[in-house]
A and B are shown apart, each in its own frame.
Chain A
Amino acid sequence: MTSELITPEVVAAHNLTSIEYERIKQLLGREPTFVELGIFSVMWSEHCSYKSSKVHLRRLPTRNERVVVPPGENAGVVDVGDGWCAAFKVESHNHPSFIEPFQGAATGVGGILRDIFTMGARPVASMNSLRFGSLDHPQTGRRNRALLAGVVAGIAHYGNAFGVATVGGEVMFDDAYALNPLVNAFALGLVRHDQIFFGRASGVGNPVLYVGAKTGRDGIHGATMASAEFDDEALEKRPTVQVGDPFLEKLLLEACLEAMRSGAVAGIQDMGAAGLTSSSCEMAARAGTGIELDLTLVPQREQAMTAYEIMLSESQERMLIVAHKGRERQVVDIFKNWDLDAVVIGRVTDTGHVQVMHHEGTVADIPVNFLTDEAPVYERPMKSKTESGRQKDEDVAVGGGVDLISPAPPSAPVLESLARETDNEQQTTDNGQIDHNDALLQLLVAPNVASKEWVYRQYDHMVRTNTAVLPGADAAIVRIKETRRALAMCLDGNGRYCAADPRAGARLVVAEAARNVVCVGARPLAITNCLNFASPERPEVMWAFSETVDGMAEACRAFDTPVVSGNVSFYNETEGRGILPTPVIGMVGLVEDVRRVIQPGFKQEGDLIALLGTTNDDLSISEYAATVLGRTTEEMIERGRVPVLELQLEKAVQEVCLRGTEAGLLRSAHDCADGGLAVALAESCFSSLNRPAIGAGIELNGALAPPVQLFSESPSRIVVSFATEARAQLEEIAAELNCPFVVIGRVGDTSLRIAINGTLVIARDLNEIETVWRSALGQRLQTEALAAAAE
Chain B
Amino acid sequence: MKAKVYVTLKAGVLDPQGKAIQHSVELLGYGGIADIRQGKYFEIALDDSIDQEHARAAAERMAREVLANPIIEDYRVEVEA
Contacts and interface: CB of A to CB of B under 8 A. Distances in A.
15 contacts: A783-B23, A783-B24, A783-B27, A786-B20, A786-B23, A786-B24, A787-B20, A787-B21, A789-B17, A789-B20, A790-B17, A790-B20, A790-B21, A790-B24, A790-B38
Interface in B9-56: 17, 20-21, 23-24, 27, 38
Contacts of A783: 23-24, 27
Nearest to A791: B17
Contacts of B27: 783
A223 B24 CA distance: 34
B68 to A, nearest CB: 20
Contacts of B21: 787, 790
A101 to B, nearest CB: 15
Across the A-B interface, give the 3 residue pairs with the lowest CB-CB distance, nearest first.
Answer: A786-B20, A790-B20, A787-B24
Contacts of A787: 20-21, 24
Interface string A774-791: 000000000100110110
Interface in A732-791: 783, 786-787, 789-790
A67 B27 CA distance: 53
A786 B19 CA distance: 9
Interface of B: 17, 20-21, 23-24, 27, 38
A789 B21 CA distance: 9
A458 to B, nearest CB: 15
Interface string A350-370: 000000000000000000000
A519 to B, nearest CB: 38
Contacts of B20: 786-787, 789-790
A596 to B, nearest CB: 43
Given A783-B23, A787-B20, 12 more contacts: A783-B24, A783-B27, A786-B20, A786-B23, A786-B24, A787-B24, A789-B17, A790-B17, A790-B20, A790-B21, A790-B24, A790-B38
Contacts of B17: 789-790
Interface of A: 783, 786-787, 789-790
Nearest to A790: B20
A134 to B, nearest CB: 20
A783 B27 CA distance: 9
Nearest to A787: B24
A736 B54 CA distance: 87
A787 B26 CA distance: 12
A789 B18 CA distance: 11
Contacts of B38: 790
B39 to A, nearest CB: 13
A234 B23 CA distance: 29
A778 to B, nearest CB: 15
Contacts of B24: 783, 786-787, 790
Nearest to B25: A787
Contacts of A790: 17, 20-21, 24, 38
Contacts of A786: 20, 23-24
Nearest to B24: A787
A783 B17 CA distance: 13
A140 B21 CA distance: 22
A781 to B, nearest CB: 13
A641 to B, nearest CB: 43
A599 to B, nearest CB: 34
A784 to B, nearest CB: 9
Contacts of B23: 783, 786
Nearest to A782: B23
A783 B28 CA distance: 11
B33 to A, nearest CB: 15
A190 B61 CA distance: 46
A789 B23 CA distance: 12
A510 to B, nearest CB: 42
Nearest to A789: B20
Nearest to A785: B20
A330 to B, nearest CB: 34
A37 B38 CA distance: 46
A22 to B, nearest CB: 50
A786 B36 CA distance: 14
A102 to B, nearest CB: 15
A303 B38 CA distance: 32
A626 B51 CA distance: 70
A96 to B, nearest CB: 23
A790 B38 CA distance: 10
B60 to A, nearest CB: 28
A786 B24 CA distance: 8
B14 to A, nearest CB: 14
A786 B20 CA distance: 5
A267 B23 CA distance: 51
A303 to B, nearest CB: 14
A790 B27 CA distance: 15
A190 B17 CA distance: 38
A16 to B, nearest CB: 41
Contacts of A789: 17, 20
Nearest to A784: B24
A571 B21 CA distance: 35
Nearest to B21: A790
A649 B24 CA distance: 52
A789 B24 CA distance: 11
A778 B65 CA distance: 39
A324 to B, nearest CB: 41
Please indicate which of the listed interface residues B17, B20, B21 has the most CB atoms of chain A within 10 Å of its own CB: B20
A592 B38 CA distance: 52
B77 to A, nearest CB: 26
B47 to A, nearest CB: 18
A765 to B, nearest CB: 34
A790 B24 CA distance: 10
Nearest to B38: A790
A494 B58 CA distance: 59
A149 to B, nearest CB: 11
A790 B21 CA distance: 7
A61 B13 CA distance: 60
A118 B20 CA distance: 40
A775 B38 CA distance: 29
Nearest to B18: A790
A787 B27 CA distance: 11
A789 B16 CA distance: 10
A789 B17 CA distance: 8
A148 to B, nearest CB: 16
A111 B38 CA distance: 32
Nearest to A142: B27
B15 to A, nearest CB: 10
A779 to B, nearest CB: 15
